[in-house]
Amino acid sequence: MIKIVCVGSIKEKFTQAMIDEYLKRLRTPYQLAIIELKESKHKNHPPMMVDDESQMILAQIQPTDVVIALDIHGTLGSTQDFHKAIEASFNQGKHCVFVIGGSHGYNQAVRQRANIRFSMSRMTFPHQMVRALLIEQIYRSYTLYQNIPYDK
């Protein structure tokens, strides 16, 4: 199973449409769950906001889960590296949990819990777009695993 734990909801219809398309493609091969957490109410106090959201993220993670935290300061890798991380968690018989923090990120406790900190780019993207890109890469990983041609 793959879980995506993320802070906030998708607001743009075009982003949601893209996510829905990839979720439809993934419905059969993977059990995929998206857990949307509410943004902290401490919007005027970012450190409290980060701590609140980080606690909510950690509450969704089981001790045996393989956690891949998306982090701009994480390891840059290729699609194949991404695929290998998912495949490794499956080979261990563990759930793969991706974490997307809120607008101010997450705290050190989430970083320490992560088995892998993976960067999709050194550029900064809106969290909603990151979710769409993540789901697309999960689908791409599936096509690699099944040796299915992927239209570029």
Domain of 35, CATH number, reads: 3.40.1280.10
Report the mean per-residue pLDDT for the chain. Answer: 92
Which stretches of 41-149 are assigned E, i.e. beta strand?
66-76, 96-100, 116-119
Helix (H) or strand (E) holding 86: helix 79-91
pTM for the full model?
0.93
Query: Under a CB-based contact definition with an 8 Å cutoff, are residues 128 and 11 in contact?
Result: yes
63 in a domain, yes or no? yes
Domain count of the fold of the chain: 1
Give pLDDT < 50 ranges for the chain: none
Q: How does pLDDT run across 54-92, given as a tens digit for each residue?
A: 999 999 999 999 999 999 999 998 989 999 999 999 899
What range does the domain containing 137 cover? 2-145
The answer to whether residue 87 is domain-embedded is yes
Residue type, 148: I
- With respect to residue 21, please indicate whether it lies within any of the assigned structural domains: yes
| Residue 35 covered by a domain | yes
Q: Is residue 39 part of a domain?
A: yes
